[in-house]
Chain A
Amino acid sequence: MSLVSKNSIQVAAQSLGIPNLGDEVAQALAPDVEYRIREICQEAIKCMRHSKRSTLTTDDVNSALSLRNVEPLYGFSSDDPLRFRKALGHSDLFYLDDKELDFSEIIDAPLPKPPIDTTVIAHWLAVDGVQPAIQENPPPGAELTLPTEQKKKIEGQPGLGAPEDLPVEVKPAVKHVISKELQLYFEKIMELVTSGTDSKLLNDAVRSLASDSGIHPLVPYFIQFIQDEVQRSLHDLPLLFTLMRVAEALLANPHVHIEGYLQQLIPSVVTCLVARRLGGRKNGYRHWDLRDFSATIVATICHRYGHSYSNIQPRLTKTLVNSFLNPKQTYPQHYGSIKGLVALGNRVVRLLVLPNLATYLELLREDLDPQKQKDEVRRYEAQRVYGLLQVAAGNCMFEALKEQPQLGELLLKSRPMTGAKVRTSKAGKDTKPEGPSAMDTSAPEARQTRQGGLPGSSGQTEANAGTNGSVVGKKRRRPPGETQEDASKVLAEAWKEEGDTWRLFGKLIELFGDSMLPFVPRPQLTLMHSYN
């Protein structure tokens, strides 16, 4: 019945040199043994509590034994809690892994190092009740939110005294003090970033920025630093890259609360995204990479803080769309703004890029044509933007198609459209401009329902188009055909998200040609072929 079985008693008796302990004796002893063991355990727990621990150690048991005037058990002392191992084949049998040691080996072994002596380290756990964010304190976070909730809960309870009794808390402005260590850290990072020589060290620094819990006090300084440097050294592409890496690391650091500084940080990042000229001439094409990288940062910011700060994304998109629709800006700027919009997600692309696509491509085509545009660089830039738009539109369409359930019916509906597509692609370059020109007339209608930022720019687009020569004018005079009417409707609906995806698809193919086809998901593609 008791936890100690009579067999255990007999085994213990044998080990003490009593070979034949009677069953009855063992039976009678067992409960008492259990009681004594429990007693010792309870005394040991007392010793544990007075040693201010919550783990029972062998020392505690020995102290308890000596309290009862029993010889302590030798050979079990250990600094660490004992590690028990499960005996194979038994669910609740454990044993200590006690290795056999060779005595001569121990004697021959060099003396172990003496343990490090006990030290006391002082730090400020709180200054006027506020925990400074230093290495010695745990990072602010989950633990800190709990007490406030608890406090609220407690205050909410009746009979606690009216809250108005409580004095209003007026805190004097606290001077921001930064420890020497942090100052050194900041200077070192600044030096590394600006010199930009040792890439390995720089990698370490960025990693530290992304993970260190104690750097929160430095955040405003880092942000300021990024801002200043971006403004000052737009020509220095590697530096800009490094700065963006720093910004990304700060955003990635879970211990840093960067929300308060976002309005300062975003302009710097957007600058790296849509600046007219990034880096000197000698850096050639690398500035595209920087724009790509900055775009991901913008996306990160929106993704992470868009929920809590609702005005971030609208402001960002507004800036980017303005830049995108401003024909006075260069292609790299357009590229950057499109890239930014693309990074914000397909929905943004659908709402803001696609409706303007036709107009924009019209503009672009001028420069894509090697006969019309002699400047190699400008043509390359235009190609790049074209490629980006193509990918963006394609991805957008891919997502939309994937979500389209009623394939058959829609395909049937869109058959004329695909037919048109086939026709245009067959017709080649000459017929292509037709679509876009049709778009030009229909675009304003679509824009009227959109937000205010666009009408002005649309005017500009048209003005710009006008300067491109009489070709456009001529085309505008031509009466719009059936397909063209359709197209305008499609794009008007596209941004409403209620429109027919397949018609959007057709339109895109019309705009981009067969290069859109790889973006069609496979099942839909086969279906389409079967209909064709």
Chain B
Amino acid sequence: MKEEDLNRIVLSYLKKKGYRNAEAAFKSESKTQSLQEMVNGQENDLDVSILNHVYLYVKGENSPSRYGESYSKLQAWVHDSLDLYKNELSRILYPIFVHCFLQLVAKGYPTEAREFFQAFKADHQSAHGRDLQKLEGVSNPQHLLDNDLAKSYRENKFSVKLCQYSCELLISFLHDSEMMLMLSLVNEHLNLEVVPGQPSPLPEEDEAFTVTGKPQEALENLNRSEIRWGQLEDGIEQRFEEKMAEEAAEAANEEKKEGDPSKPPSKKLKKDGKAGGGAKAGKQGAKAAASGATRVPSVIPLPRLSEEVEGLAFEDLRKRVQLGSAALPSVCFYTFMNHYNSLNTVALSQDGSKVAAGFSDSSVKVWDMSKRTVSQPQAQSAEARTSEGAGPGPGSQSQAASAPGSMGYSLFQAHSGPVYGADFSPDDRFLLSSSADTTVRLWSMELGANLVCYKGHNYPVWDVRFSPLGHYFATASHDRTARIWSTDRVHPLRIMAGHLSDVDCVRWHPNCNYVATGSSDKTVRLWDVSSGECMRIFTGHRSTILSLAMSPDGRHMASADEDGTIMVWDLGSGRKVVTPLLGRNGCVWSLAFSSEGSLLASGSEDNCVRIWDVGASTRAPKGDDKPGTARRLRLLKTLPTKHTPVYSLQFSPRNLLFAAGAAQRPKS
């Protein structure tokens, strides 16, 4: 580094920045040799590139065209690089592209920004089309503050995984070709994660840039935190198992000592808690361990089920059909006719006997299917289905309370905006509906009337779900929060904030300790109900999450997005269990696990109910924990409907699948 070079650089910098006094001072001082000495002292530490940076910064500061030039240079370099590293290196292009654009906008060059965008957007259209759409309109610095996507891009760093060598290649290229602009972008906005080992050979299709609002390390730590994903302790299934064991033991006892009925094992004792003694508890523990399912106590107080309900539930469990890849379910389909495109949501009661529909005209209508003479090809099955209907109580009065019986449904009117979400309580006695008028309403099926109106959200409430045991419910809203409520309070108990965009859907974990939310920010998050904290962030989807489903054993979660991609996650490890099928099948509106968790049903916009084999896909052979060996979901069956997108799916406790959709006019 020559002295005059240095002087020249410093001078031009000062001139550019308008530090006239400093310039003058520098000129005068440069005559004395003090600076020379100073520089000499530091010369060893000074990196040439930094000096270049300073120099080039001065040179190119005011020319927006440099963005385009540098970017195209970088692009050309990446495309010409060895195939081995190409896949990895091409990952940095999108973030660089976005930040070039955003910086141009931020510096006030809307025209150049747009030119840049148009020139290079084609490369990213396929993978990030939706995001590009959102960004395209951004044209002045004010928009950067308004646009949530732009904001989150600017506030967070992209994480890019590169292997050691690729990373070195990149850095040295940026240094050598004096691309200080790109280098600064990389430094500023990218989080280069150096992965040891060879470059990944295949383009990872699941590699999606998803901004989570948290640094990568924090995210990983978060996903490593302990989670108790087991089934609910003392839940209905456990009690059923106990009861069966009890009965078996009883039968054995009675066989042994027929004339000795002095010690009948008391059911009450058992129900009141584990009063059966340590031996019994030990036995149960052993059994639970044997079946592989861990039971988790609930951290929130849960309602007790009445004995009648429990009896019915036991009955259902006893009659449950075992499903699997060889035994596919029967599907009963409810088609909505004459809906005039105003049907927004369909909720099915657990046993499929009631159908609630939310409409754009703010009405909620409930059909009691068990009461109707349905034209069924198989009369017997229809009977079986109706007899499966809930207890004698609920349905009988709702009709009396409803509008004229000739309509065949009960009409609920109170909302003042389109109804977007609805859900039945587990005992079918209540219905929740959420609407664009920001409220959630609780309806009594017995009275046919609105009981409570829950206000708290500030924007439309997209989804509402009862907890698996009732009493609590969760809502998801446009205001980017999910909230937990209990039916007896009009204010929310917990507010879960963290999503960067709308929360579109919400589901409860079977043990009631967690809720999962899917959002337009392309992440699925799992929240602890008692603390309200985020426990897991699942990234990988490329578009809005539209539906979620939790497996009954509480271990897996399925999520589906607008593109038709379905992913299955392991809640414990936070990893994908099966790699997604990047289908272009249209939006998947609904997902449902069968009651014992072996099958997954998806209902989509392309007029199909698809049955997937989860059991075989998730029951990975031992040691199959490496992400590289993730398997695909196996499609078992596609059941096309007649021009009817499938809005909602529900497996009954006996494993009959109910589906509902609105018939569309066939496209001519």
* Contact surface of A with B, Cβ cutoff 8 Å: 1-2, 31-32, 34-35, 37-39, 42, 46-47, 49-54, 57, 59, 63, 66-67, 79, 115-132, 134, 136-138, 143-144, 146-147, 150-151, 154-155, 157, 159-161, 165-170, 177, 179
CB <8 Å contact, A124 and B376? yes
**Nearest neighbor of B330 in chain A, beta-carbon distance:** A127
> Least Cβ distance of B301 to chain A in Å?
33
Give Cα distance in the complex from A151 to B327, angstroms: 16
Distance between A202 CB and nearest chain B CB, rounded to angstroms? 27
| Contact assessment for B339 and A118 in the assembled complex, using a CB-CB cutoff below 8 Å | yes
- List 7 other contacts, CB 8 Å, given A49-B546, A120-B409, A125-B331: A2-B114, A31-B139, A37-B137, A115-B338, A137-B641, A160-B632, A161-B631
* B338–A116 touching, CB < 8 Å: yes
State the CA gap A329–B608 with chains docked (Å): 58
For the complex, give the distance between the alpha carbons of A198 and B387 in Å: 45
Which residues from 105 to 162 on chain B have a C-beta closer than 8 Å to any C-beta of chain A? Answer: 110-111, 114-115, 133-134, 136-140, 142-143, 146-147
A123 near B333 with CB under 8 A, answer yes
Look across to chain A and name the residue whose beta carbon is closest to the beta carbon of B421. A50
- The yes or no answer to B367 lying at the interface (CB within 8 A) is yes
Q: Which residue of A42, A119, A154 contacts B408 across the interface (Cβ within 8 Å)?
A: A119
- Give CA–CA (A136, B663) in the complex, Å: 11
A-B CB contact pairs (8 Å), 28 listed: A1-B114, A2-B139, A34-B137, A35-B138, A42-B133, A42-B134, A46-B544, A49-B544, A51-B418, A79-B341, A116-B338, A117-B338, A120-B367, A121-B334, A126-B329, A126-B330, A127-B330, A128-B327, A129-B637, A130-B328, A136-B333, A136-B642, A137-B640, A143-B640, A144-B640, A160-B634, A161-B631, A177-B377
In the bound complex, how far is the Cα of B607 from the Cα of A143, in angstroms? 11
A52, A116, A134, A166: the one contacting B343 at CB < 8 Å is A52
CB distance from B438 to the nearest CB of A (A): 10
User: Are B635 and A119 in contact, CB atoms less than 8 angstroms apart?
Assistant: no
- B378-A177 in contact (CB<8A): yes
- B631 CB to closest chain A CB (Å) equals 6
* Cα separation A79 to B341 with both chains bound (whole Å): 7
Contact status B140-A160, CB under 8 Å: no
Contact B635 A151 (CB under 8 A): yes
Q: Could you say which residues of chain B place their CB within 8 Å of the CB of A177?
A: 377-378
CB pair B638 A159 closer than 8 Å? no
Min C-beta distance of B595 to chain A, whole Å: 16
Any A CB within 8 A of the CB of B340: yes
Given A124-B333, A126-B331, residue A159 in contact with residue B631 (CB < 8 A): yes
- Which residues 418-432 of B have a CB within 8 angstroms of A? 418, 420
Set of chain B residues within 8 Å of A47, measured between Cβ atoms: 418, 436, 460
Asked if B591 CB lies within 8 Å of chain A CBs, one says no
Question: Which listed residue (B367, B408, B478) contacts A67, Cβ 8 A?
Answer: B478
A-B CB pair tally, cutoff 8 Å: 218
In the bound complex, residues from chain A placing their C-beta under 8 Å from that of B621 are 161
**Looking at the complex, which one of A31, A37, A53, A154 makes contact with B341 (CB distance below 8 Å)?**
A53
The smallest beta-carbon distance between B553 and chain A, in angstroms, is 20
Q: Select the residue from B147, B330, B647 with max chain A CB neighbours within 10 A.
A: B330
Q: Which of B634-668 contact A (CB under 8 A)?
A: 634-642, 645, 647, 659-660, 662
* B520 within 8 Å of A (CB atoms): yes
Asked whether A46 and B520 contact (CB < 8 A) given A115-B338, A124-B332, A134-B377, the answer is yes
* Cα–Cα distance between A119 and B357 once the two chains are bound (Å): 11
Complex formed: what's the CA distance from A147 to B418 in Å?
Answer: 36
Q: Which residue of B lies closest to A140 (CB)?
A: B640
Q: Is B351 part of the binding interface, using a Cβ–Cβ cutoff of 8 Å?
A: no
Which residues from chain A contact B367 at a C-beta distance below 8 Å? 120
Q: How far is the CA of A116 from the CA of B660 in the complex (A)?
A: 20
Assuming the A-B contacts A57-B341, A169-B326, are A124 and B605 also in contact, with contact meaning beta carbons closer than 8 angstroms in the complex?
no
B521 within 8 A of A: no
Are A118 and B634 within 8 A (Cβ)? no
* A34 contact set on B, CB distance < 8 A: 137, 139
Asked if B641 contacts A125 (CB within 8 A), the reply is: yes
Range class of the B interface residue count: 35 or more
Of all chain A residues, the one with the shortest Cβ separation from B643 is A138
CB distance from A427 to the nearest CB of B (A): 69
Bound complex: CA of A66 vs CA of B115, how far in Å?
33
- Which among B114, B336, B616 is the interface contact of A166 at CB below 8 angstroms? B616
Q: Which residues of B contact A179 (CB under 8 A)?
A: 377-378
A167 and B326 contact, CB distance less than 8 A: yes
- Which residue of chain A lies nearest to B105 when distances are taken between CB atoms in the complex? A31
As a 0/1 sequence over residues 539 to 568 of chain B, the CB contacts with chain A under 8 angstroms (1 = contact) are 000001010000000000000001000000
- Residue contact B638 to A143, C-beta cutoff 8 Å: yes
Residues of A within 8 A of B327 (CB): 128-129
Which B residues between 337 and 369 are near A, CB-CB below 8 angstroms?
337-341, 343-345, 355, 357, 359-360, 365, 367, 369
Please give the distance in Å from A167's CB to the nearest CB on chain B: 5
Check if B408 sits within 8 Å of A51, measured CB to CB.
no
Residues of A within 8 A of B111 (CB): 1
Task: Give the Cβ gap from A80 to chain B, nearest Cβ, in Å.
Answer: 8
A79 to B338, CA, bound (A): 12
Which A residues are in CB contact (< 8 Å) with B335? 120-123, 136
Answer yes or no: B514 CB below 8 A from chain A CBs. no
Complex CA distance for A82 and B344, rounded to whole angstroms? 20
Chain B contacts for A138, CB-based, 8 A: 640-642
Q: Are B418 and A122 in contact (CB under 8 A)?
A: no
Whether the Cβ atoms of A129 and B611 lie closer than 8 Å is yes
CA distance A188 to B136 in the complex (A): 64
**Across the two chains, which residue of chain A brings its CB closest to B323?**
A129
Q: Say whether A137 contacts B642, CB under 8 Å.
A: yes
Q: Are A127's CB and B381's CB within 8 A?
A: yes
Smallest Cβ-Cβ distance to A168: which chain B residue: B326
Q: Whose C-beta in chain A lies nearest to the C-beta of B659?
A: A125
Q: Does B589 contact A (CB under 8 A)?
A: yes
Query: Are A59 and B334 in contact (CB-based, < 8 A)?
Result: no
Decide: A165 and B616 in contact? CB cutoff 8 A. Answer: yes
Across the interface, which residues of A come within 8 angstroms of B333, CB to CB?
Answer: 122-125, 136
Contacts of B408 in A (CB 8 A): 119-120
**Residue ID in chain A nearest B380 by CB atoms:** A177
B contact residues around A124 at 8 Å (CB): 330-333, 376-378, 381
Contacts of B137 in A (CB 8 A): 34-35, 37-39
Q: Is B442 an interface residue (CB 8 A)?
A: no
Partner of B407, one of A117, A146, A154: A117
Please report the C-alpha to C-alpha distance between residue A244 and residue B111 in the assembled complex, in whole angstroms.
76
Q: Is B587 engaged at the interface, CB distance under 8 Å to the other chain?
A: yes
Q: Is the CB of A123 within 8 A of B377?
A: yes
B138 and A49 form a contact (CB under 8 A): no
Ranked nearest first, the 3 interchain pairs of A and B with the lowest CB-CB distance are A129-B328, A38-B137, A31-B139
B369: chain A residues at CB < 8 Å are 120, 122
Nearest A residue (CB) for B645? A52
> With the chains together, A51 CA to B358 CA distance in Å?
10
Residues of A within 8 A of B645 (CB): 52
Closest to A157 in B: B632
Q: Shortest Cβ distance from A279 into chain B, in angstroms?
A: 40
Interchain CA distance A328-B504 in the complex, whole Å: 83
Nearest Cβ in chain B — how far from A164, in angstroms? 12
**Residues of chain B within 8 A of A155, CB atoms compared:** 634
Contact B139 A154 (CB under 8 A): no
| Residues of chain B in range 32-87 having any CB-CB distance to chain A below 8 Å | none
A127 CA / B333 CA spacing, docked (Å): 11
Contact between chains at A63 and B418 (CB < 8 Å): yes
Q: How far is the CB of A217 from chain B (nearest CB, A)?
A: 9
- Closest chain B residue to A32, Cβ basis: B140
